[in-house]
Chain A
Amino acid sequence: MDMEQSRNLSQVAEPTSLQRQTDDSFFTSNSVQKRINRRIWLDWLARKVFFFSMIFALLVLGVLIVQVVRDSIGWLDVQFLTSNLSRFAEKAGIKGAIRGSAMLMLVVIPTSVIIGVATAVYLEEFAHKGRFHAFIQTNIANLAGVPSVIFGLLGLTVFGRLFGLGSSILAGGLTLSLLVLPTIVVASQEAIRAVPGFLRDASYGLGATHWTTIWRIVLPTAMPGILTGTILAISRAIGETAPLVVLGIPTLIMKLPDSIMDDFTALPIQIYYWTLDAVLTKEYANLAAATIIILMALLFALNSIAIVIRNKYSHKY
């Protein structure tokens, strides 16, 4: 009885109550139905707009690549890769920058990997999960968010002046190592944590010591994850400019670096200085664009290796 009454309210135009239709007029228009149509239309509109947002970033990437390629046409050739710097744009090349970046990585990789993986091993294998442990974790998380210029100031004061390393490769490398340290620590921690307990238990069950287990079981198993993290860190280090600028890397350096105590230039630094000076000498913009292509190609290669490692060696335990 109640039901019959409630279902026969078919008048009220304004929805002060849920519009009730009689059973056979369920699908005919009334204000709720109109409202439903409007809501569906809004959903459709949002879908279109949000989709555009999603591909906006991709579009920008496309535009960026096209722009850079266009600016570098004619300037990216073997002569560019094998020449030294020069005030004359047509003669200039990035031989020195490539060498500088490579030697920089020779410092960064061992330093950051050894310290970073060791820190991760300490946090996961040795430290008791107490206040000290949490302290180091928060510390690393905070370091990850410190702007790169600040690392530059640190490097300038400690490595550049205090240790007397000036603007050498060693100074730059040590500074960058500290910068990418958190990345390696976090990635290594995750990799170590992912090593399943039964592998460790098997090792202990055979009578191995803690250290033996770490060295022979845990680290090798975690290696793909650690490697991926390392590659990520190197990618970051290769492209970093600000700390090197703060350290005082010179604008024009002709001598190629022979040892890590020498002055140097690096790929991102060249991009920076050439872009700045492009206001005066338009051709410098082309040189910068060509260098960007080399840098991006390098990063692409690195990241591809990381993906291959991840796919090939990630076992699902």
Chain B
Amino acid sequence: MNQQTASQPGLMTQNAYDVKDLNLWYGDHHALKDVSLEIQKNQVTSIIGPSGCGKSTFVKTLNRMVEEVPGVRTTGNIMYHGRNILDPDIKVEALRARVGMVFQKPNPFPKSILNNVTFGPKLHGIHDKKKLLEIAEKSLVDAALWDEVKDRLHDNAYGLSGGQQQRLCIARCLAVEPDVLLLDEPTSALDPIASFKVEELIDQLKARYSIVIVTHSMQQAARISDMTAFFLNGEVIEYDRTEIMFARPADERTNNYISGRFG
């Protein structure tokens, strides 16, 4: 089964990402300072912290979306599958096919539901209609949306509710079979019921994917995540198992944030 991996020790690690000494500058602004983290496989890792602390920036470096902003500079390593993804040799299109991202405000394409989900597979050369439909069904089932849309796959995605659109965006990511999902405040634009459905979904998904979620709701972090990282001013202040972090935070700043003294 895993002969290839057995001969290359150290790669069958427990980590989805190994971040070491990551620094990032937006022009002159030092946005991320010496960030080092190990994102674990098949766990939900939440990133919390006050506004402007670098949470979104950090997560966007994990799939190099941060490069879409001009004037961005990085140093350090982000090891993913044994390679440093910050290496300019790594092709960003290949990376993003393995690392999916869901954004704060649901952003489905102004196309049909089916065409939204099959966008990714088509990029990779799958054009057989039957196969695409199979993939779409599987992704929509995994995103807990299939039953609600199976009769209207050709309807425009904009006709869905906010929560459904967000689950569609998740399905869209799942269609290219990533192994990591990055969620940037995925429920902040949704009502409580829709948020709850998405959180349930995240819980189901972690069996097959490594999930990193940025959230400004500590209650959400406490509910769904296994590991939590607290960011402040671009630095990781504390990173530990969620139960420990919330019950007995090691750093006083963490304690202050969690108990609401600032943020």
Q: Could you tell me which A residues sit within 8 Å of B by CB distance?
A: 2-4, 6-8, 15-20, 22-27, 31-33, 35-37, 39-40
Q: A22-B2, A26-B98, A40-B93 are in contact. Are A15 and B125 (CB under 8 A)?
A: yes
- Number of chain B residues whose Cβ lies closer than 8 Å to a Cβ of chain A: 29
- Asked if residues A24 and B81 are in contact (CB atoms below 8 Å), the reply is yes
Closest to A23 in B: B81
Q: Report yes or no: A24 in contact with B121, Cβ–Cβ below 8 A.
A: no
- Asked whether, in the complex, the Cβ of B90 is within 8 Å of the Cβ of A27, the reply is yes
Q: List 19 A-B contacts (CB under 8 A).
A: A3-B208, A8-B2, A15-B126, A16-B126, A17-B126, A18-B121, A19-B124, A22-B4, A22-B5, A23-B82, A24-B4, A24-B81, A26-B81, A26-B82, A26-B98, A33-B94, A37-B91, A39-B93, A40-B91
User: Which chain A residue has the least Cβ–Cβ distance from B126?
Assistant: A15
**Please, which residues of chain B bring their CB within 8 A of the CB of A26?**
81-83, 98
Tell me how far the C-beta of B166 lies from the nearest C-beta in chain A, rounded to whole angstroms. 23
Write the nearest CB–CB distance from A135 to chain B, whole angstroms. 33
For residue B131, CB closer than 8 A to chain A, the reply is: yes
Q: Is B177 an interface residue (CB 8 A)?
A: yes
- Report if B8 contacts A (CB, 8 A): yes
Chain B residues, Cβ within 8 Å of A18: 121, 124, 126, 176-177
| Complex contacts, A24 vs chain B, CB 8 Å | 4-5, 8, 11-12, 81-82
CA distance A33 to B124 in the complex (A): 9
User: What residue of chain B has the Cβ atom nearest to residue A24's Cβ?
Assistant: B11
- Indicate if B151 sits at the interface (CB-CB under 8 A): no
Whole-angstrom distance between the Cβ of B181 and the nearest chain A Cβ: 13
- For B12, B94, B125, B176, the residue with the greatest tally of chain A CB atoms inside 10 Å of its CB is B125
A182 → chain B, closest Cβ, in Å? 33
CA distance A40 to B126 in the complex (A): 17
As a 0/1 sequence over residues 89 to 100 of chain B, the CB contacts with chain A under 8 angstroms (1 = contact) are 011011001100
Q: Is the CB of B125 within 8 A of A31?
A: yes
Cβ–Cβ contact B125 & A32, under 8 A: yes
Minimal Cβ-Cβ distance residue in A for B176? A18
Q: How far is B97's CA from A20's CA once the two chains are assembled, in angstroms?
A: 11
- Chain B residues near A40: list those with CB within 8 A: 91, 93
Q: How far is the CA of A20 from the CA of B131 in the complex (A)?
A: 16
B11 touches A23 (CB 8 A): yes
- B208 lies within 8 A of A23 (CB): no
* A24-B81, A27-B81, A36-B94 given; 7 more Cβ-contact pairs under 8 Å: A3-B42, A18-B126, A24-B4, A24-B82, A26-B82, A36-B91, A36-B97
A-contact bits for B1-14, CB 8 A (1 contact / 0 none): 11011001001100
